[in-house]
């Protein structure tokens, strides 16, 4: 496997030597060699870099959108899981190959960034708009890595291939290339996740990341030892539970039909109160009576203590997290008459939530809250201008 990967990069080196780097499309190939000089040497690199002009570099930067790598890596994570489930079948190999393509896309971006840095050492630093585009490109990669690097365990099913790539990188490059290096020796984690051995392997004993992940999975899988009490239900209904308690309730009601029915009954009661309030407001008496209107509002506030948190406010839009009792929703509100689209992902590799258009803008129903996280992407026109993770 290492030999196959090495042959691939050797072919790219030969391509580089023959082509001489006459256009910006060579940046990724140049960077591939630069990041593997301990195995490949530097032959052809300087000639290729000297053949690139500032216009070549700027043209390449104009075509790049680091945020486009995020869905590619999320798909790669989902495909890695499919490869693990498929064991050694032909179908698993298809998933594995497709997933590796996602990791390779992130690696090519890193190679291009390295090549541009080397180009600047020969020709001088970029300036003006080109320098701003390079800065934006690097910052985009940094944001992507900050979000996905902690989730490197998703790619454990690809570890044999990831190790082959890691071992070809120069020593100084390996720490940064998390997509090939982080958790690349944690093969035992998958086996332990499915079989739960009584005696953990030496790797599991020494790897704090694996132990943490296994502990977290045990918390989810252990059946609840008690049911929701009357006090639990009252505190749930009043919004007085902690994030830890809410997480337990969410997991418990997925397995316990009796407690789930109790929670549903609370929600149905709230809906009945809201419907009654709306019916009352539709009568002539309600429209002319401020006392009745304020009473209905007080009743709704008592049953639904709403909390709003502005997560982001910019010239084009505002993002508001709304917590109502034990549910949460996200509002993306266009400002200044701008057209705004948004997507919310609750899990990597899964479809985004379907937004609803309402009087306050785009609305996403996040479901029950308490210690959960999601990822938001907002687009104004054709430009991706904002993305972040948030807790609810």
Instruction: Say what the pLDDT of residue 220 is.
Output: 42
47 with 167, same domain: the answer is yes
Instruction: Say what the pLDDT of residue 325 is.
Output: 66
Task: Evaluate the CA torsion angle 175, 179, 183, 186 in order and state its sign.
Answer: negative
Please state which of the ranges 5-14, 38-47, 338-347 shows the lowest mean pLDDT.
338-347
- DSSP reduced 3-state for 209: helix
Q: 70-74, 286-290, 302-306, 335-339 — which one is most confidently predicted on average?
A: 70-74
57 with 31, same domain: the answer is yes
Give the CA count within 13 Å in the CB-facing half-sphere of 384. 15
- DSSP reduced 3-state for 229: coil
209 with 272, same domain: the answer is no
83 with 133, same domain: the answer is yes
Give the span between the Cα atoms of 153 and 193, in whole angstroms.
12
Q: 17-31, 269-283, 347-361 — which one is most confidently predicted on average?
A: 347-361
- Domain that includes residue 215, residue range: 191-221
138 with 12, same domain: the answer is yes
Phi and psi, residue 53, nearest 5°: -100, 170
CATH number at residue 376: 2.60.40
Instruction: Say what the pLDDT of residue 280 is.
Output: 52
With b meaning 16 or more CB within 10 Å and e meaning fewer, what string describes 239-255? Answer: bebeeeebbbbbbbbee
Would you say 25 and 94 are in contact if contact means Cβ atoms under 8 Å apart? no
Instruction: Say what the pLDDT of residue 323 is.
Output: 82
260 with 319, same domain: the answer is no
Among 126, 159, 185, which residue terminates a domain? 185
Decide if pLDDT at 230 tops 70. yes
The predicted-structure confidence for 127-176, as pLDDT tens digits, reads as follows: 999 999 999 999 999 999 998 898 898 899 999 999 999 999 999 999 99
264 with 200, same domain: the answer is no
> In the numeric block, which tokens belong to residue 274?
């809201």
Would you say 232 and 224 are in contact if contact means Cβ atoms under 8 Å apart? no
Q: How confident is the model at residue 109 (pLDDT cuts 50, 70, 90)?
A: very high
With b meaning 16 or more CB within 10 Å and e meaning fewer, what string describes 196-233? Answer: eeeebeeebeebeebeebbeeeeeeeeeeeeebeeebb
The predicted-structure confidence for 17-60, as pLDDT tens digits, reads as follows: 877 544 444 899 999 999 999 999 998 899 899 989 999 999 99
Instruction: Say what the pLDDT of residue 293 is.
Output: 41
Instruction: Say what the pLDDT of residue 354 is.
Output: 84
| pLDDT > 90 fraction of the chain, expressed in percent and rounded | 26
Would you say 302 and 269 are in contact if contact means Cβ atoms under 8 Å apart? no
Among 243, 268, 303, which residue terminates a domain? 303
Instruction: Say what the pLDDT of residue 299 is.
Output: 37
> In the numeric block, which tokens belong to residue 244?
């830890």
Name the pairing type of β-strands 356-358 and 361-368: antiparallel
101 with 143, same domain: the answer is yes
Decide if pLDDT at 257 tops 70. no
> In the numeric block, which tokens belong to residue 61?
């930067």
The predicted-structure confidence for 179-229, as pLDDT tens digits, reads as follows: 999 999 998 887 777 666 667 788 988 998 888 877 766 544 444 456 787
45 with 169, same domain: the answer is yes
154 with 62, same domain: the answer is yes
Q: 75-89, 230-244, 325-339 — which one is most confidently predicted on average?
A: 325-339
| More confident site: 264 or 376 | 376
387 with 281, same domain: the answer is no
Please state which of the ranges 62-71, 287-296, 332-341, 382-391 shows the lowest mean pLDDT.
287-296
Output the average pLDDT for the chain: 79
Give the span between the Cα atoms of 179 and 35, in whole angstroms.
15
CA angle 388, 102, 41 (to 5 degrees): 115
Q: How far separated are the first and last CA of the chain, in Å rounded?
A: 44
23 with 159, same domain: the answer is yes
Give the span between the Cα atoms of 104 and 21, in whole angstroms.
21
Structural domain total, the chain: 4
Decide if pLDDT at 5 tops 70. yes
């Amino acid at each position: 496997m290492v030999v196959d990967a090495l042959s691939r990069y050797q072919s790219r080196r030969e391509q580089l030597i023959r082509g001489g780097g006459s256009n910006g499309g060579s940046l990724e190939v140049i960077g591939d060699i630069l990041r593997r000089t301990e195995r490949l040497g530097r032959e052809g690199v300087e000639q290729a870099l000297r053949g690139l002009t500032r216009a070549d570099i700027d043209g390449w930067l104009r075509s790049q959108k680091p945020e486009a790598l995020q869905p590619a890596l999320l798909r790669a994570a989902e495909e890695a899981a499919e490869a693990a489930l498929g064991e050694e079948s032909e179908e698993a190999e298809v998933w594995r190959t497709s997933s590796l393509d996602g990791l390779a896309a992130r690696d090519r971006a890193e190679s291009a960034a390295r090549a541009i840095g080397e180009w600047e050492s020969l020709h001088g630093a970029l300036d003006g708009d080109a320098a701003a585009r390079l800065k934006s490109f690097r910052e985009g990669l940094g944001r992507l890595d900050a979000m996905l690097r902690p989730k490197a365990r998703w790619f454990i099913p690809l570890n044999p291939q990831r190790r082959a790539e890691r071992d070809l990188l120069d020593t100084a490059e390996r720490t940064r290339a998390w997509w090939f290096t982080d958790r690349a020796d944690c093969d035992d984690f998958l086996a332990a996740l499915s079989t739960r051995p009584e005696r953990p392997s030496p790797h599991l004993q020494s790897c704090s990341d694996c132990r943490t992940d296994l502990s977290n999975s045990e918390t989810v899988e252990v059946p609840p030892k008690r049911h929701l009490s009357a006090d639990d239900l009252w505190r749930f209904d009043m919004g007085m539970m902690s994030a830890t308690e809410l997480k337990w309730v969410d997991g418990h009601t997925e397995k316990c039909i009796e407690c789930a029915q109790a929670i549903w009954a609370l929600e149905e009661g709230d809906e009945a109160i809201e419907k009654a309030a709306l019916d009352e407001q539709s009568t002539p008496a309600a429209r002319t009576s401020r006392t009745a209107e304020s009473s209905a509002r007080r009743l709704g506030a008592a049953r639904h203590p709403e909390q709003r948190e502005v997560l982001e406010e910019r010239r084009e839009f505002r993002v508001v997290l709304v917590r109502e009792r034990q549910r949460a929703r996200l509002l993306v509100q266009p400002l200044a008459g701008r057209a705004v689209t948004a997507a919310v992902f609750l899990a990597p590799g899964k479809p985004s939530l379907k937004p609803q258009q309402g009087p306050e803008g785009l609305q996403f129903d996040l479901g029950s809250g308490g210690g959960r996280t999601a990822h938001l992407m907002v687009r104004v026109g054709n430009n991706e201008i904002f993305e972040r993770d948030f807790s609810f």
